[in-house]
Chain A
Amino acid sequence: MSRTNLLDREVGRAMSALSAAAKRGLGDPALAELVVIRASQLNHCAFCLDMHLAIAREQGVRESQSAMLGAWEEAGDVFDERERAALALTEAMTVLTEGFVPDEVYAEAARHFADAELAHLVALITAINSWNRVMVARRIPPGGYTP
């Protein structure tokens, strides 16, 4: 049985507005792609991985970083402390079902991001989690994205 391709136009526009506002406020397009790819890995969104790997290249994200995202905690100095804080927050916020966002994860993020940046980072992680859900639920195949 094929799944629906429908996404209400206004829902799609509002989701795009959400992502755009989050990225603008974070002001770090390369970091944004690292976060987005990691969340998409955790949520198993093939479409999103395909799309954001291409965008990450455009944004100048190093291949060594993209490739190591699945094991970032063991990747030594491939990621700096700020990136690691953002990735830890991404994981905690994406896997809510195993229990909250720990104080140490939040505090480490708050150490590296000012309040407004942090609010937009939280929004970005939320936004990609939203895209992951509408793509996975409808089983949108990867490969359809062209930069």
Chain B
Amino acid sequence: MTTDASAATGTTAATATASTTASTTATATADAPARYAPAHTPRLNWAEHAPEVFKAMLRLDAAARKGLDPKLLELVKIRASQINRCALCVDMHSKDALAAGESVERIVQLSAWEESEHFYTEQELAALALTEAVTVLTSGFVSDEVYERAARHFEEPELAQLIAAITVINAWNRFGVTCRLVPGHHRPGQHA
């Protein structure tokens, strides 16, 4: 079981795999590794400056995942992180999902899940619709249709946990994006 704790430790990012790969020959052919752009540096190591906040986030993360299927949770976390464009979170949760036995196809299709419904269960689809609605609040409320679809597939306590879990990944996304934490360094299980 992993948490988003490395959202706090993005400062170790300078040695990205991509940077290492980028130092290869200038005469690259179609088969040679691509020359990637350098990694950016994080803006702020927020957890170091706000340790009590970090502790509360870990506590919240642990509380919100209780009672939820771990594979469903990773799908929700990846989708919210895509919408909020949190690079570190996408990296972390895609790797965690793969490590938990999720298929590459289902992860890849997440950004277009409404058009690839046959990759997912009805319950997962309801959770993804709720994830989008709760993540994009600025465009207006969580519609009755989306809420009722989720309520059809989740018992009330589980639905409350799902709402909490969507809320928590949105919180990690905000720390990751604002502090510009660097993706690429997460190893599945490192925060177990």
Bound form: Cα–Cα A31–B33 in Å: 50
B147 CB to closest chain A CB, in angstroms? Answer: 6
Of B50, B83, B135, most A-chain CB atoms within 10 Å: B50
Main SS of the interface on chain A?
helix
Q: Which residues in chain B, 134-190, are within 8 Å of chain A measured between CB atoms?
A: 134-142, 144, 147-148, 151, 156-157, 159-161, 163-164, 166-168, 170-171, 173-175, 177-180
For B18, list chain A residues within 8 Å (CB): none
Q: Does B46 contact A (CB under 8 A)?
A: yes
Nearest first, the 10 A-B pairs at minimum CB distance are A119-B49, A14-B60, A6-B160, A21-B52, A18-B56, A10-B63, A119-B50, A17-B56, A43-B137, A133-B167
For B136, list chain A residues within 8 Å (CB): 97
For B55, list chain A residues within 8 Å (CB): 17, 21
Q: Does B73 contact A (CB under 8 A)?
A: no
Bound form: Cα–Cα A42–B163 in Å: 19
The digit string for B8-51, where 1 denotes a CB below 8 A from any CB of A, is: 00000000000000000000000000000000000110111110
For B191, list chain A residues within 8 Å (CB): none
For B, the interface residue count at a CB cutoff of 8 angstroms equals 55
Q: List 26 A-B contacts (CB under 8 A).
A: A4-B160, A4-B163, A8-B161, A8-B164, A14-B56, A15-B60, A17-B55, A21-B50, A21-B52, A21-B56, A42-B138, A92-B178, A94-B138, A96-B174, A97-B136, A119-B50, A122-B44, A122-B46, A123-B175, A129-B170, A129-B171, A132-B137, A133-B167, A134-B163, A134-B164, A136-B134
Bound form: Cα–Cα A138–B134 in Å: 10
For B60, the closest partner residue in chain A by CB is: A14
Q: Is the CB of A97 within 8 A of B64?
A: no
Q: Is the CB of B164 within 8 A of A11?
A: yes
For B84, list chain A residues within 8 Å (CB): 96-97
Q: Is the CB of A4 within 8 A of B63?
A: no
Q: Is the CB of B138 within 8 A of A43?
A: yes
For A110, list chain B residues within 8 Å (CB): 43-44
Bound form: Cα–Cα A22–B51 in Å: 10
A2 CB to closest chain B CB, in angstroms? Answer: 10
Bound form: Cα–Cα A24–B59 in Å: 18
Bound form: Cα–Cα A134–B138 in Å: 14
For A106, list chain B residues within 8 Å (CB): 43, 178, 180
A109 CB to closest chain B CB, in angstroms? Answer: 9
Bound form: Cα–Cα A125–B46 in Å: 13
For A130, list chain B residues within 8 Å (CB): 60, 167-168, 170-171
A95 CB to closest chain B CB, in angstroms? Answer: 5
Of A4, A10, A13, A101, most B-chain CB atoms within 10 Å: A4
Of B48, B53, B151, B163, most A-chain CB atoms within 10 Å: B53
For B179, list chain A residues within 8 Å (CB): 122
A123-B46 contact given A11-B164, A14-B59, CB 8 Å threshold: yes
